Amino acid sequence: MERPCKFTFTNQLSAKAIQVHSFVDLAEALPKIGLHRTRPTLVLVGGASGIGEADKARLQQLFTEEIAPLAQELGVAVVDGGTDAGIMRFMGQARTQRGGTFPLIGVAALGTVILPNVPPPSLDAAPLEPNHTHFILVPGSNWGDESPWLAHIASVVSQGFPSATIVVNGGEITFQDVSYSVEAGRHVVTLDGTGRTADKLAAALRGEATDQRAEQLAASGKMQAIALLEHPARLTAVIKELLSKLLHI
């Protein structure tokens, strides 16, 4: 485990960060960056660079009007991939726009991200999203290396409290992210109508023939879908109910 540090971004916001090398580091690492207490946790997985232009405004509105206020109301920590793209950008911007005070924790493989004032480690490295409050940098140089860490860190942050995963859009790595959430015993809500992997998962839950990975995950009993276009405000009610149920298990 490395020493904690602080990243300051061009928007003048700053985030606490730490690099870890193994799961056992986390119990000591999280308090070092100010995450002293556990709390209910929302994991966000899904689309990064693969979201189409036509969907961006609609998904940004979803985060600003539904997901960020929900996180603030429930007092949760939000955990995602932490890069300045897709749903992670939407989440960061929505938190700032709504004046959120909840922790927004980015989990990223060190070899895939561009740190402030540090040369890029690779040609396809991505910058960190500048509205996040915390970053945990984990081993790896390929996209997807962060997946098991994201699920495990959410379990550590939520220890003793409920947690849930929300799937918005997404590509190939999203199947991996969802699988790790299911393996962790975490309930997953996929937002039907947001495209790609989220829609494949929703189709599998309806019993339709779709991607085999989606069908296997749908059979886990840990998933449910929300038809976002038909019931855009239902997400808040479903997540509240889900966390309440989990709290009493």
Task: Assess whether pLDDT exceeds 70 at residue 197.
Answer: yes
pLDDT given for residue 249 in this prediction: 39
pLDDT bucket at 246, cuts 50 / 70 / 90: low
Which domain, by its residues, includes 104? Answer: 5-247
Across 14-23, average pLDDT = 97
* 98 pLDDT tier (thresholds 50, 70, 90): very high
pLDDT of residue 156: 97
Confidence (pTM): 0.95
What does the pLDDT average to over 11-36? 96
Spatial contact of 128 and 84, defined as CB atoms under 8 Å apart:
yes
5 φ, ψ (degrees, to nearest 5)? -145, 180
- Average per-residue pLDDT for the chain: 93
Query: How confident is the model over 40-67, as a mean pLDDT?
Result: 90
Dihedral Cα 91, 94, 96, 100, nearest 10 deg: -90
Relative orientation angle of helices 86-97 and 53-62, to the nearest 10 degrees: 40
| CATH assignment of the domain containing 110 | 3.40.50.450
Asked whether the predicted pLDDT for residue 248 surpasses 50, the reply is no
Domain count, the chain: 1
What's the pLDDT at 179?
98
The answer, yes or no, to whether residue 109 has pLDDT greater than 90, is yes
pLDDT digits (tens, 9 = 90+) for 155-164: 999 998 999 9
CA distances, 188 to each of 16, 205, 211 (Å): 28, 12, 17
Average pLDDT over residues 59-82: 94
